[in-house]
């Protein structure tokens, strides 16, 4: 029974990871190219934040094949063991780095509509760069526990130090250290950012609702983007962080924790949608690439004027 459940779990992890990699990598690569070009011109704070969010997702996706290999081997780690803590550290730290930058995007959008003049006057690209570096350092320091834990107080009788298990089985001594740290991660690196995002987007929506000069289409688009970003934030990162609270209360690592992590994994596919809705430069780049691909297809198969009318 347990073997059947593990096999089913590994197949689900494999499916979600492959889909995320195939969709997320080209989408984030396109976003990275677009925002990098914008920074060479006149960088705006939102461009720097979105570029950092893209880099976080790309680093996550670069290491995702290691998790795909693990899932293909029925959740057994067959790669060199030194890659296990390194992969885990990158995997989990980039999840929380993404929550920070999603929160920063919400703050930027709120300030730009609530205090537009003062925000443009005092907010500089250098300030955003400093904040971005702080986010990366804070996330790395807090998630260093992922790199340290496999080597902390190994207990071979429990099997936690087996090279075939990568950050899945822990000794009681390891859990006494790990579970409080996970609770801290949930409170400091998820709950606080999520509450800040809720505050910013709720006020953002209220401000836009009171501006009659905005067209109804632009207003609904901005409100939909705000609500969609909050929904992605809650669904992708909420269940995984709830597992931290459950683990701290019960004293064990929940069995469904890795399933909740799949939602955080799939976030790498959803972030480009936020980029697309937020950045006109990315929309322009995407439409240009789509037009180019469409033109090549038409030249190969038929006359452009007969089967491929211009994009509207």
- Spans of all domains in the chain: 2-278
pLDDT over 60 at 130, yes or no:
yes
pLDDT for the residue 157: 47
pLDDT for 211-268, tens place per residue? 777 777 777 777 888 888 898 899 999 999 999 999 999 988 888 888 888 999 989 9
Class of 2-278 in CATH: mainly alpha
Average pLDDT on 133-139 reads 95
pLDDT for the residue 295: 61
Average pLDDT on 26-53 reads 86
Average pLDDT on 35-44 reads 81
pLDDT for the residue 291: 67
pTM: 0.85
Instruction: Identify the weakest region by mean pLDDT among 15-24, 76-85, 87-96.
Output: 76-85
Percent of the chain whose pLDDT exceeds 70: 83
Average pLDDT on 167-196 reads 90
Average pLDDT on 146-162 reads 64
pLDDT for the residue 203: 92
d(CA 197, CA 194): 5
pLDDT over 80 at 290, yes or no:
no
What is the distance between the terminal CA atoms of the chain, rounded to a whole angstrom? 55
In sequence order, what DSSP letters do the residues of the chain get, joined into one string? Answer: -HHHHHHHHHHHHHHHHHHHHHHHHHHHHHHHHHHHHHHTT---HHHHHHHHHHHHHHHHHHHHHHHHHHHHTTS---S-TTHHHHHHHHHHHHHHHHHHHHHHHHHHHHHHHHSHHHHHHH--HHHHHHHHHHHHHHHHHHTHHHHHGGGSS--TTTTTT-TT-SSS---HHHHHHHHHHHHHHHIIIIIHHHHHHHHHHHHHHHHHHT-TTS-HHHHHHHHHHHHHHHHHHHHHHHHHHHHHHHHHHHSS--TTHHHHHHHHHHHHHHHHHHHHHH-HHHHHHHHHHHHHHHHHHHHHHS-HHHH-PPP-
- Check: CB of residue 138 under 8 Å from CB of residue 52: no
Question: Token match 């509450």: residue?
Answer: 195
d(CA 99, CA 38): 23
Instruction: Identify the weakest region by mean pLDDT among 81-95, 178-192, 284-298.
Output: 284-298
């Amino acid at each position: 029974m347990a073997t059947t459940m593990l096999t089913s779990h590994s197949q689900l992890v494999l499916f979600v990871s492959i889909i995320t990699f195939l969709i997320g990598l080209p989408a984030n690569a396109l976003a990275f190219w677009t925002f990098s070009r914008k920074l060479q011109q006149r960088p705006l704070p939102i461009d720097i934040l979105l570029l950092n969010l893209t880099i976080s997702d790309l680093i996550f996706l670069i290491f995702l094949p290691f998790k795909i290999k693990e899932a293909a081997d029925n959740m057994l780690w067959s790669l060199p063991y030194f890659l296990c803590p390194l992969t885990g550290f990158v995997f989990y730290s980039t999840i929380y780095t993404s929550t920070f930058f999603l929160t920063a995007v919400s703050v930027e959008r709120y300030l730009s509509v609530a205090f537009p003049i003062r925000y443009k006057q005092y907010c500089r690209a250098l300030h955003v760069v400093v904040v971005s570096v702080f986010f990366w350092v804070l996330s790395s320091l807090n998630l260093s526990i992922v790199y340290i834990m496999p080597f902390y107080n190994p207990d071979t009788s429990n099997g936690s130090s087996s090279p075939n298990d990568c950050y899945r089985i822990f000794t009681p001594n390891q859990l006494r250290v790990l579970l409080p740290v996970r609770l801290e991660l949930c409170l400091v690196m998820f709950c606080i950012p999520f509450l800040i995002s809720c505050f910013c987007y709720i006020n953002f929506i209220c401000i836009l609702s009171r501006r009659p000069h905005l067209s109804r289409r632009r207003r609904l688009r901005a409100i939909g983007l705000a609500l969609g970003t909050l929904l992605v934030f809650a669904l992708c990162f909420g269940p995984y962080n709830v597992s931290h609270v459950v683990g701290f209360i019960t004293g064990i690592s929940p069995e469904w924790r890795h399933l909740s992590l799949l939602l955080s994994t799939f976030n790498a596919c959803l972030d480009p949608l936020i980029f697309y809705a937020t950045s006109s430069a990315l929309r322009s780049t995407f439409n240009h690439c789509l037009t180019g691909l469409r033109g090549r297809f038409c030249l190969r198969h038929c006359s452009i004027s007969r089967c491929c009318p211009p994009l509207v």
